[in-house]
Structure 1
Amino acid sequence: MAFSTFISCSDDENELKNDPMGLQLRADPVFGDVLTDAKGKTLYFFSNDAKGTSTCTAGCLTTWPKYHSAETSTDMAVDKAEIGEITRADGSKQTTYKGWPLYYFTGDNSANTINGDGLEKIWFVAKPDYMLMVVNSQLVGANGKNYKEDLSEGMGNTIYFTDDRGRTLYAFAPDKFNKNTFTKEDFSNDPIWPIYQMISGALPSIIADELIDNIDVFGKKQLTYKGWPLYYFGQDSQTGDNKGVSVPQPGIWPIVNENSSIAPSN
C-alpha cells in the first residue's frame, strides 16, 4: 500500500508565502488607485524626471528617497509590463512605472498616508492611470534654442502638461474653444501634429476636472484643456522632448499649463 507524505507549514511560513512583494495598488478614498511598496507605503512621481532618468540627487533624496525592489509585483491589478528599472548616476537601482522613477516621501511617516502630493506643483502621488501628467523642464525648440515659459529665449524650467508617459502636449494658437481648426478630414496632417486621443483617466491634483473636456474630430475623440484641443508634435521622438514650441515660430504651438488662457470662442 502506498502512503502519501504530507508536509505541514507553520503559520509563519504560510504568512511569508502570501506576503505581497514589489509594487502594489491601493484604493485611496481621496486619490483613487495609487501605487505603493509591499508594505503599503505611498510612492510618488517627480515632474523633473520626464526623460526617464532621476534628477533627484543629493539633498533631494533625503526628503524623497528612491524606491527599488528586485521583485516586480505580486499584485494582479498592477500591469507588470509597465514596471522598469534604471541605473542611477551613483550606480544604484531605482524602479520605474511607465518610465517614471518612483520615490517615497519622508513626510509619510506611516503606510496609507499621502502628504507629498502636489508639493511645489512638481511631486505627485504615483498612479497607474493618469490621463495627463505634469512636467517641469527646459523648453528646447526644434531649432535648438532654449525658451522660457513666455516663449522668449532663455534658460529656466517651465511647468507644462504631458501625456501619462511625459510626452509633451501642445495647443494650436488659431484653434477656438473646443474646436480643432488644424486637422484635415482625411487626417493627412495628423502625423505632423497628432491629436491627443486619451479621454479618460486620473488627473494630477493641480488640474481641475471642470477644465477638461473632449471633442469629436472627424469620428475620433480629442482631449481639450480650457477649451484648447491637445496635440502631440510628431518630431518629439524621445520622452521629454518639447521641440514643437519653436515650430514654425514660438507661439504658434505653445505648451499648455495652468497659466494657459481659456481658448477664444470665436
Structure 2
Amino acid sequence: MTSTRAVVVGAAALLGIALLGACGKAAESGTAQPAAQEQAAAGPLAGQNAGNEVVPQGAPDLATAVVPGLGTVLTNGEGLTLYRFDNDTAKPSQSTCDGGCAEKWPPLLATSGDVRVQGVDQSLVATLDRADGTRQVTVAGWPVYRFAEDVSPGQAKGQGVAGTWFVAAPDGKKAAPAAGLVLTTASVGNLGTVLTDKDGMTLYRFDKDTADPSASNCDGDCAVQWPPLLVDSPQFEVQGVDQSSVGAVTRADGKLQATVAGWPLYLFADDTVCGDAKGQGVGGVWFAAKPDGTKAGV
C-alpha cells in the first residue's frame, strides 16, 4: 500500500446531522452539538472562529475526545475511539491489516477529497492507498482503525489487544495512561477544541474574573453552580495545553484553583456528561475556555 498526498480541512456543510459529542455523549437540546455541525449563528467567516482557528463546516472525519485513564484520544466523526497497529509502519505509511483483520478492525476511510479534522494538527493527517483501492486515513504516518467491539463513543475495548493494538493519541502516538492528569482538551460541538478536566468535562472562564493578576470572583453560591477546578499545586499534569500558560490562583478559602493564561477555570454544575457545554454564554459572562485561555465560540 502506498501513501498519497496530505489532505486539508474541507468546508462542505452538513446540516441537521445527529452526531455525538466528545466522550460519547449524544447531542441533546441545550447542549454542545456534534463536533463539526455548521455554525448557525452569524459570526466569523465560514471556516474560522474569532481566533482564526480552522473549524470544519461538515461532519469531521477525525476529532478528539477524552477517555478516562487515557486522556485525549482520536475519534472518528461519530465519536468512536480510533486505534493504531504495531505491525503497521509509519515511514512509509503501510497497513498490514486486511481480510478478517479489517473486519475486526475497520480502517478509517477517507470518503471525500478532503479529510476534515477538529482538534487534530492538519499537517499530521494524510491517506494511504489500501490493496482494495480505498483510501485509509493516517495520522503522523500511522494508519488508524476502529474496533468492531466498540459500539458507543467513549469505549476503548481494543486497548492493548494482543499487545499490538493501542488507542491513538491526536499526535499519532499511543495514548498512555495519564496518571495525575488534571487538564486536557477535547472537541466539543460548534465550540471546537476546548479545555476539559481529566474526565472530559468542559471547563469555563468568567468575565468578572481577572487574568493579570489572576483573581477569582466566584465564591459562595456562585462556586456551587460553577465549581472551581481545584489543584494541589501550581504544577500539574496537562495534555494538549502549553505548560508555560498553566498555573494556579489562591482562592478566598485558601484553596488553589487551576488557571490557563491567568484565567481561573471552572466546571458547570448543569453539565452532567462529558461533551455537555450548557454553561456556554450563561449570563453573557461565562464561556468555555480554549486551550490558550481565550473564549470559545465568540
TM-score by length of 2: 0.42
Larger radius of gyration: 1
TM-score by length of 1: 0.47
